[in-house]
Amino acid sequence: MPADHRARAVFDALGDATRRTIFERLAVRPSAVGEIAAGLPVSRPAVSQHLRVLREAGLVTENAKGTRRIYRVDPRGIGAARDMLDAWHDAALASFKAFADAETEGDEA
């Protein structure tokens, strides 16, 4: 998946409050579905569906540990989003610089 598509998938996935909560929990420590679901206002099957979206967006990975699947944050997903944010930030700064330079030139004339 191209980096910009991956970043957009990350932003789309984190646009849901429940998925953000799940992601935040996994950022603290890898967990199984049951541990993630504890205290959430959704069912375990719903948590599994949210994890699928997060996994498809490249935000989490899963590993089998016995009969359980342990989910953890995949830093590559965050890296793709950060790269896109950095590009937007650089473009915004360049645009602001061009505007400020034009204003300065106008004041000198």
Using DSSP, state whether 30 is helix, strand or coil: coil
Burial of 68 (0-12, 13-18, 19+ CB in 10 A): middle
Please report the pLDDT score of residue 65 as a whole number.
Answer: 86
pLDDT higher than threshold 70 for residue 2: no
Residue ranges per domain, the chain? 3-81
Domain covering 3-81: architecture: Orthogonal Bundle (1.10)
Confidence of residue 36 (pLDDT cuts 50, 70, 90): very high
**What token pair was written down for 33?**
């579905």
Please report the pLDDT score of residue 6 as a whole number.
Answer: 79
Q: Which of 43, 44, 50 is nearest to 20 (CA)?
A: 50
Per-chain mean pLDDT for the chain: 90
